[in-house]
Amino acid sequence: MAEAAGSREPPAAGRAPPDAAHRAEEEPEPASLDAPAAAAGRRWERRSGVSAVGAAERFPGGSLGPPAAADPDAGLLEAAKATPRRSSIIKDPSNQKCGRKKTVSFSSMPSEKKISSASDCISFMQAGCELKKVRPNSRIYNRFFTLDPDLQALRWEPSKKDLEKAKLDISAIKEIRLGKNTETFRNNGLADQISEDCALSVIHGENYESLDLVANSADVANIWVSGLRYLVSRSKQPLDLMESSHNTPRFAWLKTVFEAADIDGNGIMLEDTSVELIKKLNPTLKESKIRLKFKEIQKSKEKLTTRVTKEEFCEAFSELCTRPEVYFLLVQISKNKEYLDANDLMLFLEAEQGVTHITEEMCLDIIRRYELSQEGRLKGFLAIDGFTQYLLSPECDIFDPEHKKIVQDMTQPLSHYYINASHNTYLIEDQLRGPADINGYVRALKMSCRSIELDVCDGPDNEPIICNRNNMTSPLAFQNVIEVINKLAFFASEYPLILCLGNHCSVQQQKVVVQHMKRIFGNKLYTEAPLSSEVYLPSPEKLKMKIIVKGKKLPCDQDILEGEVTDEDEEAEISRRLSEDFSREPKLIWLCRELSDLVSLCKSVQYKDFETSMKAQNYWEMCSFSEAEASRIANEYPEDFVNYNKKFLSRVYPSAMRIDSSNLNPQDFWNCGCQIVAMNYQTPGPMMDLHTGWFLQNGGCGYVLRPSVMRDEVSYFSANTKGIVPGVSPQVLHVKIISGQNFPKPKGACAKGDVIDPYVCIEIHGIPADCTEQRTKTVQQNSDNPIFDESFEFQINLPELAMIRFVVLDDDYIGDEFIGQYTIPLECLQPGYRHIPLRSFVGDIMEHVTLFVHIAITNRSGGGKAQKRSLSVRIGKKTREYTMLRNTGLKTIDDIFKLAVHPLREATDMRENMQNAMVSVKELCGLPPIASLKQCILTLSSRLLSSDNTPSVTLCMKDAFPYLEPLGTMPDVQKRVLAAYDLMIQESRVLIETADITHDKIVQCQKAGMEFHEELHNLGTKEGLKGRKLSKAIESFAWNITVLKGQGDLLKNAKNEALENMKQIQLACLSCGLSKTGSGHADTKSKRCLEAIQEKDTGDENGRL
């Protein structure tokens, strides 16, 4: 073996310097990391969406919005005239990720030959390719690496060493790591320029030195990793690659398939029959592609015939139907076999997919359902084709099936929920020319819409009608509409339906409206008078199967049969705004008592200002805001808007200037707590994608509970927050875009063949601090299975309000770039390897069109930005950020809050210390921060084996905590890993044992502060505070209460996480054989300790925490 083929891994502090010979070898010029970027594609700006009102005010000087207009609606009018865009969002330009230029991927893999077996990997490695060699001194060198013909050594050139030293024996290799998971990568000054997916490290020698390499593309890195792992796992066995590739379970299955279809038994069949057979096995393949593959195979054998042999059939199927990225994954999780057994699958589901309580029988059931070969089903293994089918199945969907059910508390007041709402529900075209259509109501109600609009006018024969007053050509009979509503009101959701009644009828026809509604809806109509003793609206649970009418109401204290009320006509509101006499009084209309009495919980009132509303508005009264007005308020009074919406319902409707019925961005108003953001369902696009995706959660019932920081009576939240939300722990979303499947040509594309150049954009929507967007490279001329293999990280400051939108676009488009999209709330993401079913522009699922991704979510300490991971992951006490309490200026209250300062610091220190210790263990195991502790134990177990394959450590339970005890002497490398492991257990123990005391101190301060909540105004007056100073004191009080509650919850969650970690570590140690062998007593003791941990966990859940 060559001496010092790389840096030592993993050192505790510092590294041994490379030897002089190695330094001499590295004298040639360092390689450049700047790959030549192709100047293909259109400008990035083409993906900007139509700007929403207020964007210019929020982002002055930004490039994504139009210049601020004097009147926001005038800006909207201009925006409406622009060509509608199919993708992207309005975001703070400061959140755009710089430096990610559009690049074109020239795959290093020949398109006609894909990796489908270990022999393909070996052949590629024997042919050799250029890799960049990374040194600890921040230098990078180009070297040509090859695998010896006898498969015994890895060699590189040029080198100043002699040929026998510029090599690495396969037998000396301990591990092969994919990604930047060594000290060399973490500390290299150029590491942030190296793609995570192109980096690999070969760990070798007794001192675990590392040979750190960078491939030109992720697929090349995967080939070297898979090939080397295969060789290492079989280093003690003779390898006959040709023989082994023909003896795989897959080859055996394909032979039986061929023989069953070969009626004559001659071992050959017609090409047409072979094509039909492959299409039957894989319906997504195009016939032309299958025929072309047969021609390629036959041409390589210099024969021309229309008949196919058994071997040619197997070869064609393998090359056409093997997805390299799935093959690499299968080899990785099967410990370098070409199939998964039940144990492999169980570890994959637990450690990677986040599945809990999995059993061997459940894994065998998955194998029986998805394995294609009878042999595999009988023997209990899953080969590549069955594994691919399983990954594509609904069981591996990205959407968490738990959220397809009602999972949120439905007993909160109605004002605490976002409500799925439609604008101008009767329209299926634009609002200027579109006729009224009953299908608008059918579509909305089937999509769980819980707030629909009815604009009612006088009709002929004393029968009211619903119509678009801009187009009276096809009115709908009011009676027919509410019959459809009655039929479908609770078709998709049993929770209350709100009817927003736009009344433009005479008193006579108003009475007809009432008669029809009472007769058709019957006891579904909710007409109970609100109780003045209550403070909040009833809950959705209490209002199940009820229809609530929103509209104007006559004064209850006047005994009149009819009277005048202000008109709430949206178009009239805009006319007033645009007229010269802006201050003129709104128009009055007549309202009859019967219609007034149908309105109970949603009485429409005019908004004046928050001060007036908070003093005079009743909880059953609600305001409607035009888009422009809501945007202005959201920008000027974001905190007040959130506080207002804790108690009252708010409805926001699109500007009438949107004559094409384009949609506003609902996220802007959800951030302020607005419950009813009305959308033009008839207009697809990015904004409707957000709306539809958001209401998929909570069983798709049309109601989504707002985050607690936006519901609690005393809490602080600003919709325009640019940083961390008080009391909320930021999370890091890790997304790896791996590949796409069966992308169609954009629907609107013209004058172009079927070839596309796809790329993927990942958009994050939420509070302004979270909104951002990144994109992958472009893959040229590949729609069937483009490989992207790119990883991204996003810090999410308020996870409960965040959504992620995946958009696939064509980089070489003519007329249309949109291929597909999928939008999902962050809370509904499933971790692990997932397929995303892409939706068309109008929102329909496209058959067989998917995006293959890997998802992981960690807290901020467990992740960190890729380019600063070594700095941001371990946060020392000197640089640690503590959430600060604010001074209210009220001495009595400030004295109470001062008592919480020390417990808050203790809580943060305990959480961060545990997380830092966990990250250290992961790094020393050569794993990324997103890895689970179970994966750490699996990695450690293989490393902590002595020469006779017995463990060199054993699980030792001390006070119900899983320590690892060495058996005899150990190398320094293993000692360092065990020391880091012990520190992690110790920090977890400190947190578990002291969290209750610290939590109690925080809660006591919170309770003591809340006792003064009702007296804040009086205390402020005594202290001489008034006006803005008093408001600031109240705001600071709310901030402090929010911090105390949030930090207490974070500590509680951290303790539960630590308890769960201890259980998972112990279970992993038992399954890896790290418990004392030959001692039934030891196993019994371990099980008792596990039960003790579980009891401690349940006790804490039922007790203080």
* 841 Rama class: left (phi>0) / alpha (psi -120 to 50) / beta: alpha
Rounded mean pLDDT of 246-270? 85
Q: Give the pLDDT of residue 806.
A: 97
Q: What is the pTM of this model?
A: 0.83
Q: Give the pLDDT of residue 479.
A: 93
Rounded mean pLDDT of 478-497? 95
Query: What percent of the chain has pLDDT above 70?
Result: 80
Q: How confident is the model at residue 244 (pLDDT cuts 50, 70, 90)?
A: low
Q: Looking at per-residue confidence, does 214 or 753 come out higher? A: 214
Rounded mean pLDDT of 263-271? 86
Q: Identity (one letter) of the amino acid at 219?
A: D
Rounded mean pLDDT of 263-283? 89
Q: Give the pLDDT of residue 32.
A: 56
Q: How confident is the model at residue 1069 (pLDDT cuts 50, 70, 90)?
A: confident
Q: Give the pLDDT of residue 237.
A: 54
The Cβ of residue 651 has, within 10 Å, a number of other Cβ atoms equal to 25
Please provide the DSSP assignment of 15-49 as one string.
Answer: -PPPPHHHHHHT-SPPPP--PPPP--S--GGGG--
Nearest to 763 by CA among 163, 198, 291, 86: 86
pLDDT at 52 over 80: no
Q: Give the pLDDT of residue 1092.
A: 53
770 and 798 in contact (C-beta within 8 Å)?
A: yes
pLDDT at 19 over 50: no
Q: Give the pLDDT of residue 595.
A: 92
Q: How confident is the model at residue 456 (pLDDT cuts 50, 70, 90)?
A: very high
Q: What is d(CA 323, CA 385) in angstroms, rounded to the nearest whole number?
A: 9
pLDDT at 94 over 50: no
pLDDT at 777 over 50: yes
Q: Give the pLDDT of residue 729.
A: 82
Q: Give the pLDDT of residue 81.
A: 40
Q: How confident is the model at residue 1100 (pLDDT cuts 50, 70, 90)?
A: very low
First to last CA, the chain: 56
Q: Give the pLDDT of residue 74.
A: 47
pLDDT in tens, 377-432: 999 999 999 999 999 999 999 999 999 999 999 999 999 999 999 998 988 877 76
Q: Give the pLDDT of residue 33.
A: 54
Please provide the DSSP assignment of 114-182 as one string.
Answer: ---SHHHHHHHHHH-EEEEEE-TTS-EEEEEEEE-TTSSEEEEES-SS-TTTSEEEGGGEEEEEESS-S
Rounded mean pLDDT of 974-991? 90
Q: Give the pLDDT of residue 1076.
A: 59
Least confident of 434-443, 484-493, 554-563, 583-592: 583-592
What is the dihedral sign for C-alpha 821, 823, 826, 827? negative
Rounded mean pLDDT of 345-367? 90
Rounded mean pLDDT of 591-605? 91
Q: Identity (one letter) of the amino acid at 933?
A: L
Rounded mean pLDDT of 1051-1067? 89
pLDDT at 214 over 60: yes
pLDDT in tens, 691-727: 999 999 999 999 999 999 899 888 888 877 777 788 7
pLDDT at 6 over 80: no
Residue 401: asked if its preceding bond is cis (omega within 30°), the reply is: no
Q: Looking at per-residue confidence, does 63 or 403 come out higher? A: 403
Q: How confident is the model at residue 157 (pLDDT cuts 50, 70, 90)?
A: confident
Q: Identity (one letter) of the amino acid at 1090?
A: L
Q: How confident is the model at residue 233 (pLDDT cuts 50, 70, 90)?
A: confident
pLDDT in tens, 511-552: 999 999 999 999 999 999 998 888 899 999 999 999 999 999
Q: Give the pLDDT of residue 572.
A: 57
Q: Give the pLDDT of residue 975.
A: 85
Q: Give the pLDDT of residue 31.
A: 57
Q: Give the pLDDT of residue 752.
A: 59
pLDDT at 95 over 80: no
| Contacting residues for 924 by C-beta, under 8 A, at least 6 apart | 10, 976, 977, 980
Q: Give the pLDDT of residue 874.
A: 44
pLDDT at 211 over 60: yes
Q: Give the pLDDT of residue 800.
A: 93
Q: Give the pLDDT of residue 16.
A: 40
CA angle 887, 890, 892 (to 5 degrees): 110
Q: Which residue has the tokens 């054989």?
A: 1073
pLDDT at 232 over 80: yes
Q: Give the pLDDT of residue 26.
A: 47
Q: What is d(CA 307, CA 273) in angstroms, rounded to the nearest whole number?
A: 9
Average pLDDT score over the chain:
81
Rounded mean pLDDT of 302-322? 87
Give Cα 563 distance to the centre of its chain: 53
| Contacting residues for 1008 by C-beta, under 8 A, at least 6 apart | 896, 899
